[in-house]
Amino acid sequence: MLQLILGGARSGKSRLAEKLAADSGCAVIYIATSQPLDGEMSERVRHHRERRPEHWGLIEEPLELARVLRDNARADTCLLVDCLTLWLTNLLMLEDPQRLSAERDALLECLAELPGEIVFVSNETGMGVVPLGELTRRYVDEAGWLHQALAERCQRVVLTVAGLPLTLKGTAL
């Protein structure tokens, strides 16, 4: 089953995704896309690590998400990807403008063939003010297009607000 958990900053989306992974009955591998480049981000990463069970696997991959999913998806495994918008940011910051579309296409193409459970976490950024800068507008556009394409392929899509899940597609939580 493919699931997409969306929400704003501190909405409870990661906590919900972690609960879904823990309740899946499968071995869990947490796929972290962040690159802690400053103290504040390092603190966020530390907080997430402390919250996760020690027996969960961990893969840190900021760019090649499709490859990691193909290499690790198993019928008895739940892959938790946190988070797609950090992954998108990593790709947007590269000097190779074609890399984003190549990695996004690879991700979307591999989903149908992946066994097991996969839970994606992503920030919903399209509900706020349109950003002033070109790069931030592109980020919001790319995130919106990615979310639409993923939501189309996922069996369940949940929007999380104030720690409360609102099921947009699939069986309610």
Give the active site residue among 47, 48, 55, 147: 48
Cβ–Cβ < 8 Å for 126, 120: no
65-106 pLDDT, tens digit each: 999 999 999 999 999 999 999 999 999 999 998 999 999 999
Q: What is the DSSP string of the chain?
A: -EEEEEE-TTSSHHHHHHHHHHHTSSEEEEEE-----SHHHHHHHHHHHHHS-TTSEEEE-SS-HHHHHHHH--TTEEEEEE-HHHHHHHHHTSS-HHHHHHHHHHHHHHGGG--SEEEEEEE--TTSPPPSSHHHHHHHHHHHHHHHHHHHH-SEEEEEETTEEEEEESS--
7-53 pLDDT, tens digit each: 998 899 999 999 999 999 999 999 999 987 777 877 877 887 888 89
Question: Residue 129 — pLDDT band, cuts 50, 70, 90?
Answer: confident
Is residue 48 annotated as a catalytic residue, yes or no?
yes
At residue 171, the pLDDT reads 97
CA 1, CA 155: separation in Å to the nearest integer?
A: 6
110-124 pLDDT, tens digit each: 999 999 999 999 999
Domains in the chain (CATH in brackets) are 2-169 (3.40.50.300)
Please enumerate, as own/partner, the contacts of 141-148 that have beta carbons within 8 Å and a separation of 24 or more: 142/88, 142/92, 142/100, 142/104, 143/84, 143/85, 143/88, 146/84, 146/88, 146/104, 146/122, 147/4, 147/6, 147/84, 147/122
Which of 37-41, 91-95, 142-146, 156-160 is least confident? 37-41
Q: Is the pLDDT of residue 126 over 90?
A: no
